[in-house]
A = this chain, B = another copy of it.
């Protein structure tokens, strides 16, 4: 490992949107991260990168990619945050990691958004410490995209794992943040928000959910979203809503349950189509359409959990993401890397904060994160 901390100053490109990329967190090593950056650069001439990690490795990987290298600054970091690192340990000892350096590029306004494949808990801890929460935000949240029956093909769900707890005020803030995300990320002017519960009737669910129901309902007219009330698990991919609000425990379980179900059905489909010569021929004829289906339900194409509620945009890519997955996360970061996104989100939370009641508010937001 190279020991000196050097700044390889090249030229991320004047006027380009600069994305800061942690190249070292991925299970597949930096090569898949660089390959994902190259895919994005090929498709988008307005993108530039600051890439963080072991400069010798990164230089070697960029050597073969002149086009990417021309818009890419390498920033050396000695250390890497491992997948099993505890967030508290990284906060105390992580100054020399590529993750820390990547987040600091957003803190220092050198980049508009950061992408990392690293450990979720550590990335959230470093992001909270270095970027700080937006004024009025008690708990940041992680938002994911979910394939849906809606015309745009995706719904947003949050929180999917930033914090296992959320009180009524937190859930109300998630509604505001999710609405901002849907406006910028999905291009929806007036997103429809649903609150996840075990039934659609207003008397159902835990007390904090009923309180959140009333808070979100009151906030909806001024915040420019429509509140559809309680929704159930089956509504997450539905065309009834654009944004599903829940606590990070439930959201994480739902997300992984959906992924697990999709994987099970893909396996069943493969087995079914390989069963007889006739069905193998059928599968061959329908191959193009089936590839379209696999793409529609392929988790790689919706890769990227967005941390909302911080002074800057942070996108967490899946640790096992390949080039396609990393490219999806970078594209998402690019779409959200509009200065108005964070500003508008902050304004929304602040204006609602003035109106909302403070009773029972929990300001301890450095709790357990996933």
Contact = CB atoms under 8 A, between A and B. Distances in A.
Interface of A: 147-149, 161, 164-165, 196, 198-199, 204-206, 232-238, 246, 248-250, 252-265, 267-269, 272-273, 275-276, 278-279, 281-290, 292-293, 296-297, 368, 370
Given A252-B233, A255-B233, A265-B265, A286 B293 contact: no
B285 A278 contact: yes
B252 A272 contact: no
- Please give the count of copies of this chain that the complex contains: 2
A286 B283 contact: yes
Contacts of A275: 289, 292
Nearest to A275: B289
Contacts of A288: 276, 278-279
Given A273-B286, A276-B288, A370-B198, A253 B254 contact: yes
Nearest to A291: B272
A232 B285 CA distance: 37
A94 B265 CA distance: 42
A254 B260 CA distance: 11
17 contacts: A164-B198, A164-B205, A233-B258, A257-B257, A262-B265, A268-B293, A272-B289, A272-B292, A278-B288, A279-B285, A279-B288, A279-B289, A279-B290, A281-B285, A281-B286, A282-B289, A283-B286
A248 B198 contact: yes
A246 B238 CA distance: 25
Contacts of A281: 282, 285-286
B285 A198 contact: no
Contact of A293 (B238, B259, B269): B269
Contacts of A161: 198
Most chain B Cβ neighbours within 10 Å, of A198, A368, A370? A198
A205 B254 CA distance: 15
Given A206-B249, A286-B278, A288-B276, A257 B236 contact: yes
A223 B199 CA distance: 34
B286 A264 contact: no
A370 B204 contact: yes
B293 A282 contact: no
